[in-house]
Amino acid sequence: MKEKGKILQILRKKKSILRNYGVKRIGLFGSYLKNEQNTESDIDILIDFFPEKETFDNFMKVCEILEDAFPAYKLDIVTKNGLSKYIGSYILKETEYA
């Protein structure tokens, strides 16, 4: 199974529970999206929260859920509001949402 498809499938399965913590959208970007990953690659995940639900506690719970869903992988989880102004627009353009 292709890694990109596998990752997006898992993210889709987790969407309903993640909504309980304020996740509006969740997406994949980076090397796994482009099928350019190597043994050192992490999975890059973008979280877009509903504004009133973007709290530290919700972010930490979402991270815990995702880390449990991908136990064999390193994750780099960022929020839409936490993106760098220098590369954020590029990441938003390339992200594929689950």
pLDDT digits (tens, 9 = 90+) for 4-42: 999 999 999 999 999 999 999 999 999 999 999 998 999
CATH 3.40.50.920 is the classification of domain 3-97: no
According to DSSP, the residues that pair with 26 across neighbouring strands are 47
| Mean pLDDT, residues 60-66 | 98
State residue 2's pLDDT score: 75
- Hey, where are the domains in the chain? 3-97
Identify the sign of the CA torsion 57, 60, 47, 78.
Answer: positive
